[in-house]
Amino acid sequence: MYVSPLREPLVTGAKSYKDVTDDITKPMEGKPGKLWYVGLATALLALGFGGFAIYVTVWEGIGSWGLNRTIGWGWGITNFVWWVGIGHAGTFISAILLLFRQKWRTSINRSAEAMTIFAVMCAGLFPLLHMGRLPLGFFVFPYPNTRDLWVNFNSPLLWDVFAISTYFTVSLLFWYMGLIPDIASIRDRLKDGIRKQIYTVLSFGWTGSARHWSRHESMSLILAGLAAPLVLSVHSIVSMDFATSVIPGWHTTIFPPYFVAGAVFSGFAMVLTLMIITRKALNLENYITVGHVESMNKVIIATGSIVGIAYLTELFMAWYSGVVYERYAFVNRAFGPYWWAYWIMMTCNVITPQLFWFKKIRRNLAATFVISIFVNIGMWFERFVIIVTSLHRDFLPSSWAMYSPTWVEVGVYIGTFGLFFTMFFLFIRFFPVIAISEIKSVLKSSGENFIKKGGRNEK
Amino acid sequence: MKYWKSIEEYNQGQKDDHAHLPNKIQAQEALKSNRRDFLKYFGFSVASAAVLASCERPVKKAIPLLIQPEEVRPGIANFYASTFYNGGEAVPILVKVRDGRPIKIEGNDLFTLTEGGTSAQVQASLLNLYDESRPKVPTFNGEEISWDEANTNITTGLKAVGENEDIVLLTPTVISPTQKSLIKKLSEQYPNVKQVSLDAYSYSGIKEAHQELLGESIIPMINFDKAQVIVSFGADFLGSWLMPTVFTSQYVKNRKLDKGQKNISKHIHFEGFMSLTGSNADDRYVIKPSEEGRYILSLYNEVAKGLHLSSLENGGFEKEVTKVAEDLIDAKSSSLVVSGSNDKNIQLLVAGINTMLDTYKEIINVQSTINLYQGSDKAYADFLTDCNAGKVGAVICLESNPAYNALNGASFVEAIKKVGLTVNVAAQGEETSQFCQYVLPSSHFLESWTDAEIITGMYSLTQPVIQPIFKTKSVNEILLGWLGDSSNAYDYLYKYWGDNIIPQSEDDNPFLSTWKKTLSAGVLVAANSENKRTLSEVDYSSTGKELSKEKSNGGFELVAYQSVPVGDGKMANNPWLQELPDPVSRVCWDNYYSVSPNLADKKGWKQGDVISISDIELPVFIQPGNHDEVISVALGYGRVMEGPNPEVIGKDVKPLLVGDDSTVKYYTSVANVKSTGSTYELATTQTHHSMEGRAIVRETSLSEYLKDPASGNEMHAEIEKLHTSLYDKHEYKGHHWAMFIDLNSCTGCNACVVACSVENNVPVVGRDEVRRSHEMHWLRIDRYYTEAPEDPSSLRVVRQPVMCQHCDNAPCENVCPVAATNHSSEGINQMAYNRCIGTRYCNNNCPYKVRRFNWYDYTGADAIPFNRVDPAGMSTDLKRMVLNPDVTVRAKGVIEKCSFCIQRIQEKKLDAKKEGEPLQDGEIQTACQQGCPAKAITFGDMNDKNSEVSKMMRDPRRYHLLEELHTLPSVAYLTKVRNIEETKKSEPEHKTHS
């Protein structure tokens, strides 16, 4: 393998193969720290609160949300789209970057994929919960039944059902596929006990033979091939919930690419937010280096700029179309009663990420952390702006109304954070956060002497 | 391996004939149960036991009819003719009765004055029948007593009244000839009986004026349909004045532009605040109520000048009304001036103007009287004086509720403390009941036999459609009881009609046949009485002098009006009416002080700021079109709304109007207006009032219309040209239903909204839910203001009823993931409620926002038992009797919307099929259409070339709401045409686009 003497090393600290395994499996061995318990307890508390909010939603009815005759979707669908968007980074990193042979992905793909799965789980909750009659939600599946009823394949909401479930399944498979060699490593490190038995079952009899590796590699490529179009399709389809409608501000052909870019944008922001903390908490600075952060920041600025252009294109098209409703919708976004949401969106998504043009900021962890949070907020408001401000003043002024969430909607949202972080805390405790086998393959991408000298390690 | 049973079978493969019979061994095998079977049976029994145990089966009391009543066929509705009357307006009706319970009220189309029209109150009155809070048993000082006991005690009490003392029968205006005769009999039996009529809204002034003019205290019949120019001074004749249902029906006859009619009447309105009638006017003058007298005086002078007659004292506004006078004179003998004032002088002068204009011929017919509102302010005031002087021995209130209905209820309460015997006969919970010794529950009009003579010679029967639900008796029965007459109300009525009314009829049939015919038809027109009244010469100079002296003192004036939904408040305890948005303000569930935007600005008031006028605190509502110094407020509030949590709705403002003298005036000057600093959120169904330059309501002026019938609607043709599609146009082979709404006929009275709610079991959600924009009405009447809100007189109002538009290219249909909303083969956008999972995607994607979501369990139809949100108590067992069994009661979490009354379409289609005849155009009437007093709604089959709607399809005034979206609605509108000279900038800026 060609070893570059100068390229920034992907793993710093002159790690040996054994060091890698030891470092990465360390958080899983021994007792978890206090911080972990505090984190898990907080997450469970949030989850419990969310559970109560869900109970209220189902028992009392959707009336417990702040929606009304004019605004049929509010925080619920905003959160749905937001979480789905976040769920885009994992697969993008694993599949598309794999196909493009971006080796830096190996340090972050595992956790990004896990994050994807958890985010999609959170996202999936909202379309279910926003239904007026949740127990009848199974009507959306095209199953044969005695009543000769069939679903409506014209409905983007039905496309969502397939898109999200496919995406979830493929992501889960992909993630698990990658985990198998690592689970086997853990299994081998464990002495007898219930844990060993569980990991034995989970490792599917992995022995690390050449044949296993060969199959693993080809399976990974196949799944990557399957997952790559999904990255594009899922959010395109989610965007069609809006794009195929007639509501000014929704009815826009630019939505599919704009949503995909936005999804990758927000997904990377979320990965950054989490990774900056995780690498510190789990002492993985040598594996997730500033170089990784910089690479992700480059993706952020690229996708962020696409999103910014999309915003401007929307404004131009609204003016150029000459349609009164369309024009009004965009004037109302910027200067109507929800102007603040629009300007939060603009600031967080278009202006602050532009700071990443400066290398100093790109490689500054604190700045990156703050900006990544900004992007998360901005992208949430993007969905809020699209959904609520378009709906609240559409065609007939007689029906215009205002919307604000109730505690129940906020509670469900907090609950999904609880779910997400509960899963994440369990994940870092029971599975390796970094793909051990994969990172080993990039360990030697830089000259050993160069790494030993410290390379450009700026941890 | 193969077994054989005989050699033959083995050799020939022949099957044993008895192969299907199990042999002994097989049978034994089968009988042996094994572990699998055990588990199967065990599992089944456990599961079924669990299922059975979990289904609680409520015990339903269903007693079969031993003798099948002749007319009752299960599932088939019967209609009975009756009359709505509750002391205000009277309207002949048809009551739809299904399986023994009345479920809907329609107008009686045989009554020529309404032609089947109704009002919101008529539609809603049905619910008062199923009101749990009605008095159910006779009581004495709160203790239950029997009817016999009550009648005996009361008659004893009446006999004991001293000779010098009066027995006062306090009634609302009695329009029933039978009841009048009973009261007469009562006064024969008890010579000191005196009847005093008390109306909740006084029309004394107009009667006193005609006393002077005709020598008889009457309200003459007014025919708005014969007037070409109508000038109204604050008479809200489309909303609440005298007979709004009749007047609406008459008024719109001259506002329609179909069937070759090329001219519409001109309506000029003077008022201090924005009323329903004012908002329909062509020209509107905003004046202070105290200036009304001088305006009328000025108009008198101008008309007199124009006709070269002698004029009176100067009114001071001659310049302002010159134009109006010209219009009136131009249309002499077909022009009409009316005033809503209760001031005798004003009414007299109005009569003077009408006399000059020859209105007292065709348009105002003095030979025919309106028998409503016979109360006299003076008679009532005298009664109170007598009470206080101890001259009254007994007071019997017959459904008149003076403690609330009288302007000064407190003085009544004070006065009857001195009366020995007090009886209140009440059909509803009444304020008066708590101050009376005896409270006798009277029956709802749907449980009673009586009659009505609404206009001279126009009789209408009231017949019961259900046995009294509680231990109530009709007023006539109660009177008969006191008379000691053992005949029941029906027998008495029958006899009375036979003796007195049938002989008047032109019908020369034997009595029985006419009686039966009337019973079926509901109405009977008696032979014309001879012209007995003549106008006398009146000298108006003293009236003019008096009016010219009236000064408006420059301060604020408060006007109290009857709102369209709640009216005088008699039906305040009716959730359908309380939830009905006011057609002008679109606020429900409260009353409020309406102020103009300028006044609010000046005072720094915002909508919802609570202000106090003489200690009556109400929130401010900003109402464009009000005079800048006028505060308007609705009467009829401050009454208890029963329900799970009884509460007082709004405030009674009558105490503000109490003056020194006995005459009732509905405006007063207010000096003391204070802000309280607190705020109150009004429940409103519309918060934005401008069309934003969008072509939503298209309008034009009459002159433009005559030049080009498509004026104001030019974009329709343009858009029609642009309708292109990749797909072939869908063909509707059978029917293709369509609805037309004539915006020129619609006055915005809201009768359709209630009719729709009753027909389609639309839930009432209560004030808090309306505040959250959760109202459920399938049909709403949008109201927009055009022109500048700060200039009240140039303000124009347009209204538009909006229901599901039944788009042939419906945006809602293709977004439903489960196809719960789809298109019928007859062009109806339909909802399968039990398929709906409640994603609300359809609602989001509906450009008309007519879909309604069941946010909570409003109806009790949800599977979860303890989560009902029903603040108005509409889902109680008794109230549920009003539900239409043909329409599903929707559960929590499903979307609902207008169905074009699919149940009615289906019924008529089946009828036609059974008869083997094609369905006739006009046979199917939707609930809104049938309830409409203005006949603004037309429904029919577009595929029938000769149908009304097909003709309207060719009307150049036709357009569809948001038609540029290519939704292809089946509902169409006809442009509004105003009778104004010039087109102001009313044409929207909005142009079409592709």
Q: Give the model's confidence band at B509: pLDDT under 50 very low, under 70 low, under 90 confident, else very high.
A: low
**Residue A144 maps to a domain:** no
Name the token pair of B103.
């479920």
B280, B547 in Cβ contact below 8 A?
A: no
Residue in B811, B838, B864 nearest the CB of A62:
B838
pLDDT for position A231: 85
Q: Give the model's confidence band at A459: pLDDT under 50 very low, under 70 low, under 90 confident, else very high.
A: very low
Q: In the CATH hierarchy, which fold is given to the domain comprising B699-978? A: Alpha-Beta Plaits (3.30.70)
B744, B977 in Cβ contact below 8 A?
A: yes
Q: What phi and psi, each to the nearest 5 degrees, are found at residue B525? A: -105, 125
A17 touching chain B per CB within 8 A = no
Q: Using CA atoms, how far apart are residues B289 and B320, in angstroms rounded to an integer?
A: 16
Cβ <8 Å between A156 and B694: no
Q: What phi and psi, each to the nearest 5 degrees, are found at residue B613? A: -120, 115
Q: Give the model's confidence band at B508: pLDDT under 50 very low, under 70 low, under 90 confident, else very high.
A: low
- Digit-coded pLDDT (tens) for B345-371: 999 999 999 999 999 888 999 888 999
Cβ <8 Å between A246 and B811: yes
User: Which strands, in side-by-side order, build the sheet including B937-941?
Assistant: B937-941, B737-742, B971-974, B958-959
pLDDT for position B993: 41
A155 touching chain B per CB within 8 A = yes
What's the structural domain count of chain A? 1
| Residue B81, strand partner residues | B94
How does the average pLDDT of chain B come out, rounded? 89
Interface with chain A: mutation pick from B839, B854, B892, B966, highest number of A CBs within 10 Å: B839
- Apex B152 CA angle, B147 and B156, nearest 5: 150
Give residue B437's identity as a one-letter amino acid code.
Q
A229, A210 in Cβ contact below 8 A?
A: no
- Digit-coded pLDDT (tens) for B513-535: 788 888 888 898 887 666 788 88
Domain span at A88: 17-133+170-452
- Give the least confident one: B25-34, B407-416, B577-586: B25-34
Q: Using CA atoms, how far apart are residues B722 and B136, in angstroms rounded to an integer?
A: 64
Cβ <8 Å between A131 and B864: no
Q: Using CA atoms, how far apart are residues B771 and B684, in angstroms rounded to an integer?
A: 6
Residues 6+ apart with CB under 8 A from B760: B778, B884, B887, B898, B899, B901, B927
pLDDT for position B398: 92
Name the token pair of B51.
């299922």
A380-409 average pLDDT score:
94
Cβ <8 Å between B847 and A395: yes
Cβ <8 Å between A157 and B687: no
Residue B985 reports pLDDT greater than 50: no
A106, A442 in Cβ contact below 8 A?
A: yes
Angle between helices A34-60 and A105-129 (to 10 degrees): 30
Residue in B782, B845, B862 nearest the CB of A398:
B782
Q: How many pairs of residues across A and B have Cβ atoms under 8 Å apart? A: 181
How does the average pLDDT of chain A come out, rounded? 89
pLDDT for position B583: 94
pLDDT for position B504: 79
Give the CB-side neighbour count of residue B637, counting CA atoms within 13 A. 25
Q: Give the model's confidence band at B53: pLDDT under 50 very low, under 70 low, under 90 confident, else very high.
A: low
Q: Give the model's confidence band at A457: pLDDT under 50 very low, under 70 low, under 90 confident, else very high.
A: very low
A96-113 average pLDDT score:
84
**Residue A156 maps to a domain:** no
Residue B259 reports pLDDT greater than 80: no
Residue B723 reports pLDDT greater than 60: yes
Cβ <8 Å between B854 and A247: no
Cβ <8 Å between A397 and B692: yes
**Could you give the C-alpha distances from B122 to B105, B118, B128, B453, B582, in angstroms and in order?**
7, 6, 11, 17, 16
Give residue A323's identity as a one-letter amino acid code.
V
B749, B572 in Cβ contact below 8 A?
A: no
Q: Using CA atoms, how far apart are residues A64 and B871, in angstroms rounded to an integer?
A: 15
- Which residue intervals of B618-750 are DSSP H helices? 654-657, 702-707, 714-722
> Percentage of chain A surpassing pLDDT 70?
95
Q: Using CA atoms, how far apart are residues A10 and A285, in angstroms rounded to an integer?
A: 11
A253 touching chain B per CB within 8 A = no
- Which residue intervals of B55-166 are DSSP H helices? 120-129, 147-160
> Percentage of chain A surpassing pLDDT 90?
66
- Give the least confident one: A230-239, A357-366, B979-988: B979-988
Name the minimum distance, in Å, from the CA of B785 to any CA of chain A: 11
Q: In the CATH hierarchy, which fold is given to the domain comprising B204-370? A: Dimethylsulfoxide Reductase; domain 2 (3.40.228)
Name the token pair of B120.
């919101």
Residue numbers in A near B841 (CB within 8 A): 72-73, 155, 157, 241
Q: Using CA atoms, how far apart are residues A234 and A167, in angstroms rounded to an integer?
A: 7
- Apex B613 CA angle, B607 and B616, nearest 5: 90
| Residue B95, strand partner residues | B80, B105
B483-504 average pLDDT score:
88
Residue B325 reports pLDDT greater than 90: yes
Q: Using CA atoms, how far apart are residues B92 and B690, in angstroms rounded to an integer?
A: 38
Q: Give the model's confidence band at A381: pLDDT under 50 very low, under 70 low, under 90 confident, else very high.
A: very high
Q: Using CA atoms, how far apart are residues A377 and A348, in angstroms rounded to an integer?
A: 7
| Domains of chain B by residue range | 1-57, 139-201+375-521, 204-370, 553-684, 699-978
**Could you give the C-alpha distances from A432 to A36, A105, A216, A275, in angstroms and in order?**
15, 15, 18, 14
pLDDT for position A281: 87
Residue in A139, A396, A402 nearest the CB of B849:
A396
- Digit-coded pLDDT (tens) for B192-223: 999 999 999 999 999 999 999 988 899 999 99
Residues 6+ apart with CB under 8 A from A381: A341, A342, A344, A345, A348
- Digit-coded pLDDT (tens) for B818-832: 999 999 999 999 999
- Digit-coded pLDDT (tens) for B268-316: 999 999 999 999 999 999 999 999 999 999 999 999 999 999 888 888 8
B591, B633 in Cβ contact below 8 A?
A: yes
Q: What phi and psi, each to the nearest 5 degrees, are found at residue B50? A: -65, -45
pLDDT for position A410: 96
Strands B699-701 and B976-978: parallel
Give the CB-side neighbour count of residue B214, counting CA atoms within 13 A. 23
In this structure, how many other beta carbons lie within 10 angstroms of the beta carbon of residue B459? 26
A427, A278 in Cβ contact below 8 A?
A: no
Residue B753 reports pLDDT greater than 90: yes
Cβ <8 Å between A68 and B773: yes
A246 touching chain B per CB within 8 A = yes
- Digit-coded pLDDT (tens) for B122-165: 999 999 999 999 999 999 999 999 999 999 999 999 998 888 88
Residue in A61, A130, A246 nearest the CB of B839:
A130
**Residue A163 maps to a domain:** no
A243 touching chain B per CB within 8 A = no
> By C-alpha distance, which of B294, B328, B326 is closest to B313?
B294
Q: B139-201+375-521, which class in CATH?
A: alpha beta
Angle between helices A105-129 and A75-86 (to 10 degrees): 160
- Digit-coded pLDDT (tens) for B642-692: 888 899 999 999 999 887 777 788 999 888 889 999 999 999 999 988 888
pLDDT for position B42: 80
Q: Using CA atoms, how far apart are residues A191 and B397, in angstroms rounded to an integer?
A: 96
**How would DSSP label each residue in B229-262?**
EEEEES--TTTTSS-HHHHHHHHHHTT---TT--
A8, A291 in Cβ contact below 8 A?
A: yes
DSSP B292: H
**Residue A414 maps to a domain:** yes
pLDDT for position B59: 59
* CATH of the structural domain B553-684, one choice from 2.160.10.10, 2.40.40.20, 3.30.70.20, 2.40.50.140: 2.40.40.20
**Residue A161 maps to a domain:** no
Give residue B482's identity as a one-letter amino acid code.
W
A138 touching chain B per CB within 8 A = no
Name the minimum distance, in Å, from the CA of A57 to any CA of chain B: 10
| Residue B233, strand partner residues | B270, B339
Q: Give the model's confidence band at A446: pLDDT under 50 very low, under 70 low, under 90 confident, else very high.
A: low
pLDDT for position B500: 87
Place of tokens 């604020």: B556
Q: Give the model's confidence band at A103: pLDDT under 50 very low, under 70 low, under 90 confident, else very high.
A: confident
Give residue A37's identity as a one-letter amino acid code.
Y
- Digit-coded pLDDT (tens) for A10-61: 887 778 888 888 888 888 887 888 889 999 999 999 999 999 999 999 999 9
CA-based torsion, B826, B832, B837, B838: positive or negative: positive
Residue B984 reports pLDDT greater than 50: no
**Could you give the C-alpha distances from B942 to B463, B738, B938, in angstroms and in order?**
39, 6, 11
Residue of chain B whose alpha carbon sits nearest to that of A158: B817
Name the token pair of B114.
């309404």
Angle between helices B344-356 and B204-214 (to 10 degrees): 50
Name the minimum distance, in Å, from the CA of A50 to any CA of chain B: 20
**Residue A152 maps to a domain:** no
Task: Write down the ipTM of this complex.
Answer: 0.93
Residue B22 reports pLDDT greater than 60: no
- Digit-coded pLDDT (tens) for B872-888: 989 999 999 999 999 99
Residue numbers in A near B692 (CB within 8 A): 324, 328, 397
Instruction: Give me the residues of A, 157-176, that contact B with CB < 8 A.
Output: 157-158, 161
A246-273 average pLDDT score:
92
Give residue A296's identity as a one-letter amino acid code.
M
Q: Give the model's confidence band at B100: pLDDT under 50 very low, under 70 low, under 90 confident, else very high.
A: confident
- Give the least confident one: A230-234, A239-243, A389-393, B787-791: B787-791
**Residue A366 maps to a domain:** yes
Cβ <8 Å between B687 and A401: yes
pLDDT for position B108: 94
Strands B421-426 and B392-398: parallel
Q: Using CA atoms, how far apart are residues B340 and A358, in angstroms rounded to an integer?
A: 77
B841, B896 in Cβ contact below 8 A?
A: no
Residue of chain B whose alpha carbon sits nearest to that of A138: B837
Determine the longest span between alpha carbons in chain A, in angstroms.
Answer: 74
Q: Give the model's confidence band at A453: pLDDT under 50 very low, under 70 low, under 90 confident, else very high.
A: low
Give residue B231's identity as a one-letter amino acid code.
V
Residue B390 reports pLDDT greater than 60: yes
B805-825 average pLDDT score:
94
Residue B991 reports pLDDT greater than 50: no
B311, B301 in Cβ contact below 8 A?
A: yes
Interface with chain A: mutation pick from B684, B689, B777, B844, highest number of A CBs within 10 Å: B844
Name the minimum distance, in Å, from the CA of A78 to any CA of chain B: 14
A311-329 average pLDDT score:
93
Residue A424 reports pLDDT greater than 90: yes
Residue B18 reports pLDDT greater than 70: no
Interface with chain A: mutation pick from B815, B816, B894, B895, highest number of A CBs within 10 Å: B815
